[in-house]
Amino acid sequence: MANLQVNLLKNKRTLTEKDYQRERNYLRLSLVAGISVGVVVVALTLWNFFMKQKLTNVQGEIAQAAAELQAFTQANAEQLYLKSRLGLITEFLDDQSLARQALQELFAIVIPGVNISSMEFLDGYTVRIQLTALDVSAFNAAIDYFKQENSFFSQVVSRGVSQDSEQNYQLTLDLSIAKGS
C-alpha cells in the first residue's frame, strides 16, 4: 500500500505580496487612528481640566466682586441715609436761622408808644405778633410802619384790632417771611 498522507491541518493561506501590503497598510492606518484618538482624548481631558480650573478661578473672582458690590451697595445706602439726615439737619438749621432773623427784625422795630406784647411762630415762614399801642397816634404809626414794603416780611395780614379798658389798642398781625430771606 502506498503511503498516503492526509494533512488534517488546515492549509495556511499564503499571502501574496499585494495582499500583504494591503493588510500592513490597514494595520498602520488603524494604529495611526488609534494613536490619534488617544491624543485627542488626552488633549480634551487636559483642556477640560484647565477649563475647570479657569472656571473655578472665575467663580472665585465673581464671588469676590459680588462681595465688593455688596459692600459698595451697603456703603451707598449708608451715604444716602447720611445725605438725607444731613439735608434734614441743614433744613432745621436754616429754619432756625430764619427764626433768628425774624426775631432780630421784630426786635429792631422801634415805634414810639408801641410794644410787642406777644409773638409766636405759626410755621417756618409765618410769625403772629400782637402789638399794643398806647394811643391812636401810636396805633396809626404802627399801621403806617407795616404798610411800608419790607424786604424781610413779604406779606402782612391783620387778624384784628381791639381796644382794652385802659384805652390801649391791640393789633394782631400775621407776618409772612420772604422765602429767599
pLDDT in tens, 106-158: 888 888 889 888 888 888 788 899 999 988 898 888 888 888 877 678 888 88
- Cα torsion angle, 22, 24, 27, 32, sign: negative
**In this structure, are 56 and 115 located in the same domain?**
no
Number of domains in the chain: 2
Secondary structure class of 13 (helix, strand, coil) = coil
Nearest to 174, CA basis, from 114, 131, 112: 131
Judge whether residue 63 has pLDDT over 80.
yes
> Domain check: are 70 and 125 in the same one?
no
Instruction: Give the structural domain span for 135.
Output: 111-177
